[in-house]
Structure 1
Amino acid sequence: MVPKAKAKSEGATSARVDGRRERSRSSRARIVAAMLELIERGDLTPSAARVAEEAGVGLRTVFRQFDDMDTLYRKMSETIAERVMPIIAAPYAGSDWRADVRDLVGRRVRVFETMLPFRLAANIKRYQSPFLMGQYGQVVALERDFLMRLLPEAVRADRVGVEALCVALSFQTWRALRHDQGLDSGEAGAAVAHMVETLLAVAPG
């Protein structure tokens, strides 16, 4: 049998370890929330000092968490995914594939506008982060896959037409319309819809 004094000591040590872990998880959650809030407000590369102030934690705590940036980026990505996945994953109910693609246009507009500051921030950092670089490729592939699922075989066989649709419905096009060309979200959405309608008009099937 384990002596009572030793068992008590081990229990106290375990409680202290669990407490530190819980405080660390809580601090990380607050830091992630603070980073997301600052980015959403337009600070795409928030400093540790600003994050600490927003999160209500010490600067040293932020620096400890910043030692593992990819874990923070992963947590941020999970939080953002929770916001947009209900839009992305909702079933399509169009009368034909063209109606479904028009539905996709509306979804992309909503998702891209929601994600705009976060994807801009990720683009700045992705060359320094294996996680963000890998995620970038996965997101681009996923966006393409969601479009391809809606297209009939005759349309998928038209490589030029498919690539044009992919570009029209890409985040890069949304960023260009919103930032480079200075359109508001309504104008940018109308521009994307116009491009897609033009392509649908000449698509086979």
Structure 2
Amino acid sequence: MAVKAEPVAKKEKTDGRKQRSARSRDKIKTSILTLIRAGNYAPRAIDISEHSGLSMRTVFRHIDDMESLLREIAGDMQKELLPRFLQPYTATDWRGQLDENIARRVAVWEDILPVRLSASLCRFQSKFLLEEYQQVLELEGASLRAVLPENITADEACFNSLNEVLGVGCWINMRMDRGLSADAAQAVVRRTVEALIASAG
């Protein structure tokens, strides 16, 4: 029995709806990130609607599946940021590699500061954000452990202290809660790292 072909007009109409939906979704993701970077760390549907120019009905239809939307936004950001974070070191000694690690961390943390702050505020309302936050912590620890010598990684208190001061959470605290400039915060990070390394057994 022959399969009845779908009418061309119907298929084109369906494809058109999918394309419009994809464009709307991209506008919503862009608006969410733009609003967060502007200081609106928990944008409401009405904020997204006004910024994107989309109707409230369209916005609600997409943000009703917020977990999926957050995964797409996080995936887009990872594609942009992970290559910066994981690029090979130019230095061959651990001190040089640690210096590069610090430099790239503070640069990335500063770039994504509003987004990480928003995620921190909202992570307990989202299983995905909790999982993603934990993955960031694991990446921080693994990348640091990879460059430090054994006498420092074996000193659990020293390693944990280094991991904390070099983490995005500490950066958020210094920049947002303490009100330090990016340069001042980086100076604190480097001074603390040097003191901790000097104290390692």
Q: TM-score with structure 1 length normalisation?
A: 0.91
**Could you report, residue by residue, the CA deviation over 1:48-102 in whole angstroms, capped at 9, with x for unpaired residues?**
1111121121111000001100111112112222332232021112241122111
* Identical pairs, percent: 38
What root-mean-square deviation, in Å, do the aligned CA atoms of Structure 1 and Structure 2 show?
1.7
More moved, 168-177 vs 73-82: 73-82
Q: Is the 8 A contact 1:98 1:200 kept in 2?
A: no
SS in 2 for 1:83: helix
Alignment of 1:110-149 (within 5 A): 110-149=107-146
Asked whether 1:198 is paired with 2:198, we answer no
Q: Distance in 2 between matches of 1:10 and 1:39?
A: 44
Which of residues 21, 24, 28 in structure 1 aligns to 2:21? 24
Can you give the 5+ residue segments of structure 2 that lack an aligned partner in the other structure? none
What residue is the counterpart of 2:147 in the other structure?
Answer: 150
Give the 4+ runs in structure 1 shifted more than 4 A. none
What residue is the counterpart of 1:164 in the other structure?
Answer: 161
What residue is the counterpart of 1:82 in the other structure?
Answer: 79
Which of residues 64, 69, 84 in structure 1 aligns to 2:66? 69
Q: Distance in 2 between matches of 1:122 and 1:28?
A: 20
- Give the AA of the match of 1:35: I
Asked whether 1:57 is paired with 2:54, we answer yes
Q: Is the 8 A contact 1:80 1:115 kept in 2?
A: no
- Give the AA of the match of 1:107: R
Which of residues 90, 100, 109 in structure 2 aligns to 1:93? 90
Aligned length: 201
Aligned-residue offset at 1:152: 2.2
SS in 1 for 2:112: helix
- Give the AA of the match of 2:61: R
What residue is the counterpart of 2:106 in the other structure?
Answer: 109
Aligned-residue offset at 1:153: 2.3
More moved, 90-99 vs 185-194: 90-99
- Give the AA of the match of 2:82: M
SS in 1 for 2:7: helix
